[in-house]
Structure 1
Amino acid sequence: MIVIGLGTVWILDGLEVTTVGNIASRLSEEGSGLAITSAQVTGIAAALYVAGACSGALFFGWLTDRFGRKKLFMVTLAVYLCATAMTGLSFSAWWFFLFRFLTGFGIGGEYAAINSAIDELIPSKYRGRVDLIINGSYWLGAVGGALLSIVMLNTDYFPKDLGWRLTFALGVVFGLVILLVRRHVPESPRWQFIHGHGEDADRLVGSVEREIEKEKNEKLPPPAGEITIHERKSIGFGLIAKTVFRSYPKRAVLGLSLFIGQAFLYNAITFGFGAILTTFFDVESGHTGYYFAVIAAGNFIGPLLLGKLFDTIGRRVMIAGTYILPGILLFITAWLFDRGSLTANTLTACWCVVLFFASAGASSAYLTVSEVFPMETRAMAIAFFYAIGTAVGGISGPLIFADLTESGVPGDTALAFCIGAGLMCAAGVVAAFLAVDAEQRSLEDIAEPLSQTEKSGGPSPAGGAPG
């Protein structure tokens, strides 16, 4: 229930971004019902979507730490649903831009609320793989969006001015289904306990324990240790900033590096993929969805197969490897593309291999910032690093890469690939030195809660030391 109720929002995000990327060429055609160019869709609209996501992450991240995970992941989904519905009703470019921003605003809030809830509800032994697979489910939505666009862009089925609108309507329907499931997902007992709702937390955890003991017909082992905390209603921005940057400066550098690296790599490929295929390989706009469905499938299979290794081999090796290796592979792809050695099929195959590894790395960025900072700062930490890293790569990326990938000059597109590859490799090197060995450790052991007053039993809180 937790995985479906919380994780499926990434499917929505993947559906959103991919659908817009695929319908960009259709929106720019005469008769689409919207006076807009393809470059405006993949450039301005994409940048506004990301800007909205960054703003939403910060705004809702603060509210999530203050009012709880459950309340906010209901609100953020509602914002997404309303904005998506209004996007489908667009009648002019400014309306489309406005509601792309607001759609991103809701999705950004989801990142902060959902990742914090996931890590606080999943057992430490499986936290890495579950987090990666849930974040990787974005690409299931991307597959759906790619295939959906093929049908919706087919004028034998729908007129030019209707098909693209129906794709947004279907996103709303899917979101409503998720909303129904999500109503039953519990609040984080960690948040409840720290924010003065100890009795509610005790009832929730007790009910889960009794259910498991009944299923297994055996008593659960006692807790490894105990901590005493000072309950508080909220924590100010000043204390959050001081904790993140003064107590954990190395972890702050790590978080920023991972988010900036993956944002640039993905923008180098995904936002311009349709334009690259149509410009350099004469692929029809209605057929680009087939190619993207292939690389999207590779993106999902990566975290699915590699996720377990983050819990067994460890965070440091796997994070560094899934950043450096795809960066190197993308450099090779750029070289082959510039030489004219690739076709639409072989370029797609190269992208698929690159993103098989890069997807696990990108998902590990969310995992990292959601587990290496104290409980009280978790949602805001996710929001901050997502907002800053994605703003650098996700807003400037589409604006830069839209021109490079649509210029018709192979060297320009190869340059876009190299920018993403270089930043991805740089982030991997940072991870090799600064990544935290958080595998199979409790969140309180990785970073001591700010509200903690004393601790007894269990492992020492080494993770709470500055670094």
Structure 2
Amino acid sequence: MQHEPTADPPDGTGDGATPTRDSATPARVIRTQVPARLDRLPWSRWHWRIVIGLGTVWILDGLEVTIVGNIAGRLSESGSGLAITTDQVTTWAAALYVAGACCGALFFGRLTDRFGRKKLFMLTLAVYLTATAVTAFSWTAWFFFLCRFCTGFGIGGEYAAINSAIDELIPARVRGRIDLIINGSFWIGAALGAFASIALLNTALFATDVGWRLAFAIGVLLGLAILLVRRHVPESPRWLFTHGRVEEAEQLVDEIERTVSEQTGRPLPDPEGSVTVREQGMVSFTTVARTVFRRYPKRTVLGLSLFVGQAFLYNSVTFGYAVILTTFFKVAQGDTGYYFAVIAVGNFCGPLLLGHLFDSVGRKPMIAGTYILSGLLLFGTAALFQQGSLNATTMTACWVGVLFFASAGASAAYLTVSEIFPLEVRALCIAFFYAVGTALGGITGPLIFNGLVNSGKPADTTLAFCIGAGLMVAAGLVEAAIGVKAERRPLEQLAAPLSSVEAYDDGTAAAAATTG
């Protein structure tokens, strides 16, 4: 569909496609309808291509984490070809993977805001693929640790590049449910990893020093398939126009509109509203810090609370559940994958079945509710475990209930930080909250949790459960108090771009949502 340029504003800043110079400054002023044009698009096959090309990377993350957790016992066996202990795999290798993800998020997050979404989500996937492939050739513990760090480095960069790109391409009215399902797809990978580990740990099929190496090949093959699809995903038009490339952004949206109109077979509605920004150079770290801590202090507290709670809970459970099964319920090492696969299915069902409520009922009640309810259910699970009332099956059933709600809430944490900060610093903000929250919960979580579980004392494991439950409830209360009502609202209304000259010209005051 051909874009109809907006009328020239009275200040002479030009039409929707042509940037001009403001009379008071040498910087170009750009007025565009790109955000409104993207948000009013009906769902189409084009959007599914975005989801498949970008969103399926979380399947890789789930696959990675689960396989390593389930093959920990095999790696430590004599004849595995790797001199390493189970404790080193579940504690140090897990912590280094998360540490790599934190570093990668910050490093690539900065580059994503500077050089664009597409260049970086291609680069970060390449880093992941290389590191995963090399892991299969590990011969000693230190090299395995290094590979885990590098694999996490690539995955961390994916979080920043992918979440920012998805939010900027998906229409506002369905942004919540799509983000939740995409982030929840981590558990599809977890289920695949669980089932794969069952076969790969079977010594009747694969030798002790072969099966675990083949496990990493699965991630490489899946990553290569995603890479092929991802080549056709465009750059974010929102990123383009804020970097002065307005003509390119307009042409790209023209092409997207034609594709969507052809696929849906009906004309597109007229876009409502435009945004005006002043072209600017590289955003400094000082500006980023001022934006996060001074301009949005409440949102900063909110993001950290949500990330710390879910990161501690999930990294602890993901890396330690197989140990719980083998230590307390005497489940055979080769059978832990069955139980984890059941948990993984429950986790994915949470975002899948509850996701639409985050767009209809709203962000605040749904995020607060899922966090608090999952925490209360975990407290109940801890009490039953301490009393000795659970076995491997009922323990897994309890975790399915806990994580059904926790998974929806945790996925919403990524959604929250990706939509409540300005476009120019979106990727770095995602990286910052992911890195800080995950460092606190994702590195200390496995270290503390596995230390308690490996003691073999039920009271220690109960304590670990209660810590995770307490953090989830606390995060839910923070959301209830200061959460942002972001459902169905354009990103530019939630947080006006740092380069914004005026609010949406349809009368919506974007500036009203830019503090707190």
TM-score scaled by structure 2? 0.89
- The whole-number CA distance in structure 1 between the counterparts of 2:54 and 2:214 is 25
- The whole-number CA distance in structure 2 between the counterparts of 1:106 and 1:215 is 34
State yes or no: 1:23 paired with 2:71: yes
Q: Which amino acid aligns with 1:144?
A: L
Which of 1 and 2 has greater Rg?
2
- The whole-number CA distance in structure 1 between the counterparts of 2:181 and 2:514 is 29
Q: 1:274 to 1:463 in 2, by over 3 A?
A: farther
State yes or no: 1:400 paired with 2:448: yes
Q: How does 1:76-225 map to 2 (within 5 A)?
A: 76-225=124-273
User: What is residue 460 of structure 1 aligned with on the other side?
Assistant: 509
User: What is residue 39 of structure 2 aligned with on the other side?
Assistant: none
Q: Which amino acid aligns with 1:197?
A: R
Question: C-alpha displacement at 1:463, in angstroms?
Answer: 4.8
The worse-fitting range, judged by mean Cα deviation, of 169-178 and 432-441 is 169-178
- The count of residues paired between Structure 1 and Structure 2 equals 467
User: What is residue 40 of structure 1 aligned with on the other side?
Assistant: 88
Question: C-alpha displacement at 1:120, in angstroms?
Answer: 0.2
Q: Is the 8 A contact 2:316 2:450 kept in 1?
A: no
- The whole-number CA distance in structure 1 between the counterparts of 2:267 and 2:207 is 62
User: What is residue 71 of structure 1 aligned with on the other side?
Assistant: 119
State yes or no: 1:282 paired with 2:330: yes
Structure 2 residue runs of 5 or longer lacking an equivalent are: 1-48
Aligned match for 1:268, one of 289, 310, 316: 316
Q: Is the 8 A contact 1:53 1:101 kept in 2?
A: yes
Q: Which amino acid aligns with 1:149?
A: S
Q: Is the 8 A contact 2:378 2:466 kept in 1?
A: yes
Q: Is the 8 A contact 1:34 1:90 kept in 2?
A: yes
Q: Which amino acid aligns with 1:457?
A: D
Question: C-alpha displacement at 1:165, in angstroms?
Answer: 0.1
User: What is residue 2 of structure 1 aligned with on the other side?
Assistant: 50
Q: Secondary structure at the match of 1:453?
A: strand
- The whole-number CA distance in structure 2 between the counterparts of 1:215 and 1:7 is 21
Aligned match for 1:234, one of 266, 282, 297: 282
TM-score scaled by structure 1? 0.99
Structure 1 residue runs of 5 or longer lacking an equivalent are: none
The worse-fitting range, judged by mean Cα deviation, of 67-76 and 270-279 is 270-279
- The whole-number CA distance in structure 1 between the counterparts of 2:313 and 2:192 is 22
User: What is residue 379 of structure 2 aligned with on the other side?
Assistant: 331
- The whole-number CA distance in structure 1 between the counterparts of 2:489 and 2:385 is 44
- The whole-number CA distance in structure 2 between the counterparts of 1:433 and 1:236 is 31
Question: C-alpha displacement at 1:220, in angstroms?
Answer: 2.2
Question: C-alpha displacement at 1:210, in angstroms?
Answer: 2.1
Question: C-alpha displacement at 1:159, in angstroms?
Answer: 0.1
Question: C-alpha displacement at 1:223, in angstroms?
Answer: 2.1
Superposition RMSD on alpha carbons, in Å? Answer: 1.0
Q: Is the 8 A contact 2:113 2:425 kept in 1?
A: yes
Q: Secondary structure at the match of 2:173?
A: coil
Q: How does 1:403-418 map to 2 (within 5 A)?
A: 403-418=451-466
- The whole-number CA distance in structure 2 between the counterparts of 1:154 and 1:387 is 36
- The whole-number CA distance in structure 2 between the counterparts of 1:233 and 1:8 is 33
Question: C-alpha displacement at 1:240, in angstroms?
Answer: 1.1
Aligned match for 1:433, one of 470, 481, 484: 481
Q: Which amino acid aligns with 2:474?
A: A
Q: Is the 8 A contact 2:98 2:438 kept in 1?
A: yes
Q: Secondary structure at the match of 2:492?
A: helix
Query: What per-residue deviation string (whole Å, max 9, x for no partner) do you get for residues 199-255 of structure 1?
Result: 111111011112333344543222221121112342111111101110110000000
Question: C-alpha displacement at 1:303, in angstroms?
Answer: 0.1
Question: C-alpha displacement at 1:402, in angstroms?
Answer: 1.1
Query: What per-residue deviation string (whole Å, max 9, x for no partner) do you get for residues 308-348 of structure 1?
Result: 00000000000001100000000000010011000000000
Aligned match for 1:346, one of 389, 394, 403: 394
- The whole-number CA distance in structure 2 between the counterparts of 1:87 and 1:146 is 19
State yes or no: 1:317 paired with 2:399: no
